[in-house]
Amino acid sequence: MPTMIESEEHKSLRAAVSTFAKSHPRTLGADTEQFWQAAAKLGYIGVNLPEAYGGGGGGITELSLVLEEMGAAGNPLLMMIVSPAICGTVISRFGTEAQKQDWLPTLADGTRMMSFGITEPDAGSNSHRITTTARRDGTDWILTGRKVFISGVDISDATLVVGRTEDARTGKLKPCLFIVPRDTPGFERRRIDMELNAAEKQFELTLDDVRLPADALVGDEDAGLLQLFAGLNPERVMTAAFGIGMGRYALSRALEYARERTVWKTPIGAHQAIAHPLAQAHIDLELARLMTQKAAHLYDAGDDTGAGEAANMAKYAAGEACVKAVDQAVHTLGGNGLTREFGLASLITASRVARIAPVSREMILNYVSHQTLGLPKSY
């Protein structure tokens, strides 16, 4: 197990990303394309993808570090969780040589982006209840089903869709992954009207007898859950980094205010009622960061089982820490915390994403109860 003290290389990467992200206007709720392209040019978007295909040759450790620092600077890129972390990882690990050549260089250099379609209206967090089905028609595949809360479909060139195929031997349905280009006939999207003030829009997808060629299937038809979780563990690690970055940003704004805001000749940060909750928020964020680093290291080392447990714990801890940090930051600023000028009010809604997506905190507690503690299932 690598030490949790970061290497000089990682510290330098953090510093470089921080400087870069702080030099751009805040992207929350604004157009992120220019920021995405600039980050890609510097190698930040594809830092986890193989060097042979134009990436940085790093892992989820480096990619999560990049996202955290962007968030801490007030410039989180939600699609980093989806395009390079989930889709790029799955294609790197399980794609054919042709799929790697086609997708990885453009995902790395920012010229193309990919969405990830797993969540369904009736399945929620239960990937075993996915009803989107794929059936063979000659050498083609026919996909039918619905997806909901899929990020960035309008700005993505394709969506990596999780469907289910019938096992010829057992007759049971098993998960499979398909690359569905945005303009494929029968592939329709409807934007969901969200209160969330984010640059990346959410969509409901309808797949109405979408015909795909044989090479749209990513990986082995029989690998099933192995391939799926190869994408879901990085998703959890990256969501944790997203939450930690957001929490750090909120905390930094609160500290700035608490040092300068003076009441009765004393900065409000001198009062323990202000200082202690901010100190607690900092401790919680640091603890969440440690678990996130552990999860990323385990994943990059090829320990999928260990990474699964740690990634879920990291995502849980980061979600809680993020919400508490944002809440405390807003309270520190009082009425100013709700103004557009200080830019914290929008985080009240945004911080909840780290608790809800991609899996609810309750489902994580279920996972830890069953998988780690060995308690019986209630469902």
The pLDDT of residue 169? 65
* Residue 95, both tokens: 């794609």
Q: Which long-range contacts (CB under 8 A, 24 or more apart) does 185-193 make?
A: 185/210, 185/211, 186/210, 186/211, 187/159, 189/150, 189/153, 189/154, 191/154, 192/148, 192/149
Of 66-70, 77-81, 196-200, 268-272, which range is least confident?
Answer: 196-200
* Residue 353, both tokens: 């994403």
The whole-angstrom separation of Cα 13 and Cα 31 is 25
**Mode of pairing for the β-strands spanning 133-137 and 140-151:** antiparallel
The pLDDT of residue 219? 87
Could you give the dihedral angle defined by the CA atoms of residues 314, 120, 86 and 164, in that order, rounded to the nearest 10 degrees? 120
* Average pLDDT of the segment spanning 263-290: 97
Residue in 176, 180, 178 with CA at minimum distance from that of residue 226? 176
Q: Is residue 123 pLDDT above 90, yes or no?
A: no
Q: Is residue 308 pLDDT above 60, yes or no?
A: yes
pLDDT in tens, 97-120: 999 999 999 999 999 999 999 999
Please report, for residues 37, 53, 55, 76, 345, the alpha-carbon distance to residue 42 in angstroms, rounded to integers and kept in the order given. Answer: 9, 16, 11, 16, 31
The pLDDT of residue 221? 74
Domains of the chain with bracketed CATH? 8-113 (1.10.540.10), 116-218 (2.40.110.10), 225-372 (1.20.140.10)
Q: Which is more confident, 139 or 165?
A: 139
Q: Strand, helix or coil at 267?
A: strand
pLDDT in tens, 342-376: 999 999 999 999 999 999 999 999 999 999 999 99
Provide φ and ψ at 65, rounded to 5°: -60, -45
Name the pTM for this structure.
0.95
Percent of the chain clearing pLDDT 70 (strictly above): 94
The pLDDT of residue 30? 57
225 — pLDDT class (breaks 50, 70, 90): confident
* Residue 227, both tokens: 């391939």
Q: What is the mean pLDDT of the chain?
A: 93
* Average pLDDT of the segment spanning 191-198: 89
| Chain-centre distance for alpha carbon 371 | 23
Alpha helices (H) in the chain, listed in sequence order: 8-22, 33-41, 60-72, 79-80, 89-94, 97-109, 225-260, 272-300, 304-333, 345-350, 353-356, 361-367
171 — pLDDT class (breaks 50, 70, 90): low
The pLDDT of residue 230? 82
Q: Is residue 211 pLDDT above 80, yes or no?
A: yes
179 — pLDDT class (breaks 50, 70, 90): very high
Q: Is residue 262 pLDDT above 80, yes or no?
A: yes
pLDDT in tens, 27-65: 554 568 899 999 999 999 999 999 999 999 999 999 999
The whole-angstrom separation of Cα 42 and Cα 54 is 12
The pLDDT of residue 199? 81
* Average pLDDT of the segment spanning 144-150: 96
Q: How many CA atoms lie within 13 A of 222 on its CB side?
A: 3
* Average pLDDT of the segment spanning 221-237: 83
The pLDDT of residue 1? 45
